[in-house]
Structure 1
């Protein structure tokens, strides 16, 4: 993410790859994969590598899996996305002020959490 050859197109490809891994349809992560993936996106946010609105839209896209019909694939996508977003939210918690991006993360986590009280 930080090498000079990593332009916006590469960064967008990375986000799409992360979404594909989270919504893999086979495995709910249990080896801290969510933490490793959060490191990548955290770096993108920290270094302002993509516009905030683009990242906000991507995060909202992750949470859209909660609206899919209930199935094994939907459950995998929802649980992986929820855990990833929690990791990212708490990493970003070191920012002293809440901003649009952290508010979006929190809303997306809540959307993916079927036990959350609306």
Structure 2
């Protein structure tokens, strides 16, 4: 570990021991800039238990101004590296991307109570998060030695915050759900770390909030199918497993949701066909 990372780690351990309060005249935002600079470090304790957890406390507890939060949001969106290094299926840069998207989710969560982001900014965030969900190729969950990458789950957390914002239209909700569908319907990787549960949460909250009516949800669900089912490759079986796990999770989440009966019946039919 580099000297600067060691210094930051020692500092954040002291912050944690002090109930996430800073002492000695340091400014929360200045420390936050240090943390965002190191958001993709390979040390899982520093990245997850210290940097992310400190951000969680400071954002939720209101340690930043609206302007500072928007600056942190923009830095995090830039860190998604949408246009370079994302084509490699497995590389260490994934941690920078997937923990940056968690910071986006935290800031959106804070916005939902404080309403400090304008509609133009929210649309920018929606478009970039959806694009990231579509483009990310590294689907690993827990990575030995380095901890959680979990791109599908972390991005679903940000999409879940977006789907609960009140400025979007039907087409925006469909963009979000279609990005979920694209990430579910992959055959090169089988999700083993409950990514399906995190992605289902987005759909569940969309249905509960009645952002889209049942007929549109059913139309969206009909696309969960396997092309050329006679081509029984390994990718075919992986795709089938991912779709079945997702639909089963969604089915059980909706059992006690009022007005979801038609959607549940559609899911039952899809599972029977699989």
TM-score grouping bracket, smaller chain normalisation? 0.7 to 0.9
Aligned to 1:65: 226
Aligned residue pair count: 111
Root-mean-square deviation over aligned CA pairs:
1.9
More displaced stretch, 46-55 vs 1-10:
1-10
Aligned to 1:115: none
Q: CA deviation at 1:93?
A: 1.1
Q: CA deviation at 1:8?
A: 1.4
Aligned to 1:7: 169
Aligned partners of 2:186 and 2:242 also within 8 Å: no
Over residues 75-105 of structure 1, what are the superposed CA-to-partner deviations in whole Å (9 max), with x where a residue is unaligned? 2222111101111110111147872111001
Mind listing any 5+ residue stretches in structure 1 that lack a counterpart?
113-118
| Separation of aligned partners in 2, 1:30 and 1:19 | 17
Over residues 54-73 of structure 1, what are the superposed CA-to-partner deviations in whole Å (9 max), with x where a residue is unaligned? 111211211x2175332233
Structure 1 residues 7 and 84: CA distance shift in structure 2, 3 A: same
Q: So what's the TM-score if we normalise by structure 2? A: 0.38
| Separation of aligned partners in 2, 1:101 and 1:91 | 11
Bigger Rg, structure 1 or 2: 2
Aligned partners of 1:23 and 1:77 also within 8 Å: yes
Aligned partners of 1:92 and 1:102 also within 8 Å: yes
Aligned to 2:198: 36
- Provide runs of 4+ in structure 1 moved above 4 Å: none
Q: Which has the higher contact order (CA 8 A, sep 6+)?
A: 1
Aligned to 1:85: 247
